[in-house]
Chain A
Amino acid sequence: MGVIYILWLREIKRYVRSRVQIVVSLGQPALYLLALGFGFGPVFAKAGGGSYLQFMAPGVIGMTVLFSSVFSGIAMLFDRQFGFLKETFVAPVSRLQIMLGRTLGGATVAIIQGCLILVICLIAGFRPAHWTAIPVAFLFVIMIAIVFAAMGTALGSVIQDMQGFQLVMNFLVLPIFFLSGALYPLSNLPPVLTWITHGDPLAYGVDGLRGVLIGTWQFSFPVDMLLLGILAAAFLSTGAYLFSRMEL
């Protein structure tokens, strides 16, 4: 059994065993979907946007994957001072292996969460343009999960305490979500906002999901995929670097 595999497996086991946490972490996106999806529905339709549930379901999937994957990385904060991370740090294995095992584990958990929320979307009445779109959408879910799990690992390597954790959640993760176009179309925004939203990594993930699932593109398939690929590579290497420099 490999080192990366067993650390990956640990993340999966932790996830599968905490059933309460699964329900809790799906509760928030489900609430967004139902409260906003149905609540804003009439306004959105009146403005000529069509079905708001159709529009926002891919955004909610993106949001679920974002929160779940970033959180898995930042949760390292708790493993750090008091837990299990030390045990892996003194073992005769490279930091890169530890980092990859953890990050891929976190990404896998986020992918599972994304799939579960897709099922909830389908139950709530969301219908993809075509059923064959789902496997392609799955590709985007994987990309988003890897990008943000790597970002989480990078952040988890530098954050020392709870204040840092809250800082990141409020001033990084939430803006990434709200400025990604998950909840509103990115077209016809004020120039500053357009500029900011185009710098948001999740914007390309959400656009990919939405494009594939309901056929509405802001950018395009190659642009989304390419940018997510570059971001994944960049965050993975940053994460690996910061993780390798971590001192306990």
Chain B
Amino acid sequence: MIQVENLTKTFGQFTAVKGISFQVQQGEIFAFLGPNGAGKTTTIKMLTTLLRPTQGTILLDGFNPLIHQKEARRRFGIVFQDPSLDNEQTAYENMELHGVLYHVPGKIRTQRIEELMKTFELWEKRDDYVKTFSGGMRRRLEIARGFLHTPKILFLDEPTLGLDPQSRNQLWAHVKRINQAENTTVFLTTHYMDEADRVADRIAIIDHGTIVAQGTSAELKSQTESDSLEGAFLALTGTSLREDGADSKDQMRQFARMWRR
């Protein structure tokens, strides 16, 4: 479903992603793990047509997103690290707008919005503004929205960041249910190793722009002789802290929060 070969991205002097290759099968839940700044988000951005790769090829369901951009885009849904909902519209309006953007025909749209909002336990809140939603509800709405156009692949970039264990649990339960019901391929990144261990069929670990290991959770554990995925992760990526300074993006994030109250 996802085929990546020798994918590279350089920003000036800095190489964020250095020739990575991997494959994800249809219906698989694939976790892409790595410390901050390892190249996770850059990779997702390239996979989802937001960034042009410097080198290498990507195939999504057989389509190269650089050449068949629209076909490729129709085939995936994405939940970004930063919320991408329109706070000034209601939950239902957000879903509807997404449906129109993805050319989901009217009748199917109405039906599927209801179905998904019920699955994600948001139907009662459909006419509330998104700005009144809690973090967990927003995340659920974004994921429901990502599934709306029946994508073959769903990208989830740190979807559970800042959520309490209850919300995280519930969120993964929903994702798993739809992954099984619709055979959707799921590509996720997270910092919670227990989640990846529980949810993912296969895991790749990226550090300094290269994939340092991939396989099932059990394989990674035995490879590093650790008894937990976290142990394996630390064994592979080291224990030193990564630079995650307050850059202009963080300042903007704060400003945006203030701006939107």
Contact = CB atoms under 8 A, between A and B. Distances in A.
Interface of A: 1-3, 6, 10, 13-14, 17-18, 78, 81-93, 160-162, 247-248
B73 A82 contact: no
Given A90-B50, A247-B51, A162 B255 contact: yes
Interface of B: 45, 48-52, 69-71, 73-74, 76, 78, 80, 82-86, 88-89, 93, 96-98, 100-103, 106, 248-249, 251-253, 255-256, 259
B48 A90 contact: yes
A90 B73 contact: yes
B249 A86 contact: no
Given A18-B88, A89-B50, A248-B45, A82 B101 contact: no
Contact of A1 (B50, B74, B82, B100): B100
Given A10-B89, A13-B89, A92-B102, A82 B253 contact: yes
B74 A81 contact: no
Contacts of A87: 80, 84-85, 98, 101
A92 B69 CA distance: 8
B45 A91 contact: no
A14 B86 CA distance: 10
A247 B82 contact: no
Contacts, number: 86
Nearest 7 CB-CB pairings of A with B: A91-B101, A92-B73, A87-B84, A92-B70, A6-B100, A82-B82, A92-B74
B50 A247 contact: yes
Given A6-B97, A248-B45, A161 B252 contact: yes
A84 B86 CA distance: 6
Contact of B97 (A10, A160, A161): A10
B108 to A, nearest CB: 14
Nearest to A161: B248
Contact of B50 (A3, A86, A160): A86
A85 B97 CA distance: 13
B83 A6 contact: no
A1 B83 CA distance: 25
Contact of A78 (B51, B52, B85, B256): B256
A13 B49 contact: no
Nearest to B100: A6
Contacts of B252: 81-82, 161-162
Contacts of A248: 45, 50-51
Contacts of A2: 100
Instruction: Identify the interface centre among B84, B88, B93, B255: most chain A CB within 10 Å of its CB.
Output: B84
A21 B197 CA distance: 48
Given A78-B259, A82-B252, A6 B101 contact: yes
Contacts of A161: 248, 251-252
A85 B82 CA distance: 11
B59 to A, nearest CB: 17
Nearest to A93: B101
A82 B256 contact: yes
A226 B30 CA distance: 58
B86 A81 contact: no
B97 to A, nearest CB: 6
Contact of A83 (B51, B76, B84): B84
Nearest to B80: A86
B117 to A, nearest CB: 17
A92 to B, nearest CB: 4
A18 B50 CA distance: 31
Nearest to A78: B256
A14 B88 contact: yes
Given A81-B82, A247-B50, 14 more contacts: A13-B88, A13-B89, A13-B93, A14-B89, A78-B256, A82-B253, A85-B84, A87-B80, A87-B84, A87-B98, A90-B50, A91-B98, A93-B101, A248-B45
26 contacts: A1-B100, A2-B100, A6-B97, A10-B86, A10-B89, A10-B97, A14-B89, A17-B88, A18-B88, A78-B259, A81-B252, A82-B82, A83-B82, A83-B83, A83-B256, A84-B84, A85-B84, A86-B50, A86-B84, A87-B80, A87-B84, A87-B98, A90-B73, A90-B76, A90-B78, A248-B50
